[in-house]
Amino acid sequence: MSVSYVDFDQLSPGRLYELLRLRSRVFVVEQQSIYLDCDDHDQTARHVLLIGADHSLSACARILPPGALAQTPVIGRVVVAPEQRGRGLGYQLMSAAVRECLRLYPDQPIHLSAQRHLDRFYAACGFARDSEPYLEDGIWHIGMTRPAAAMEG
C-alpha cells in the first residue's frame, strides 16, 4: 500500500473518476445519503490516497485549508473501499492525513465532522469531540478536533 498526496490539478482524469466513484459508492449508495458530493471544495483540497499493489484506489480523504470550512484545516471525505475494510487502512489513512496537515499547517488544530458511530475510531486517531450531535446529509455527526499539541511526533 502506498500513500500519495496530490492537489486537484495533479489528479489524472482516471484517478479523479475512481475517487469520486468510491465516495459515491460508499456515501451515497451504501449509506443511502442523498447529497451532492461535488461541493466545489475538491479543487482547493489536498487529497490523500492509499493506492494498492494493483494501482487501484483503496482509500482516500481530503484536507481542506484553513478558511475553507473552518478557521483550521479540516479532514473530510474519509473513505475506505468496502472490499478493503478490516485491514487497518482507516488508521493508515488518518495517520497520513494528520502528517500532511502537520506539514502544511504546522501548529494548527485539525477539525473533522465525524459520523457519530465512528467517534471511537477518530478518538483513537487523537480527535476529541467538540460539539453536540447534529444531522448532516441524513446521518448523525459530531464535530471533533485534534489539538495542535497532539500532532507532535
Q: Which CATH architecture has domain 2-151?
A: 3-Layer(aba) Sandwich (3.40)
Q: How far apart are CA 124 and CA 56, in angstroms?
A: 27
Q: What is the pTM of this model?
A: 0.93
Work out the pLDDT band at 150, boundaries 50, 70, 90. low
Residues contacting residue 149 through CB under 8 Å, at least 6 positions apart: none
Under 8 Å between Cβ of 152 and 126: no
Q: Supply the pLDDT for residue 152.
A: 47
pLDDT of res. 51: 97
- d(CA 89, CA 2) in angstroms, rounded, equals 11
41 has a pLDDT exceeding 80: yes
**Domain spans of the chain, in order of start:** 2-151
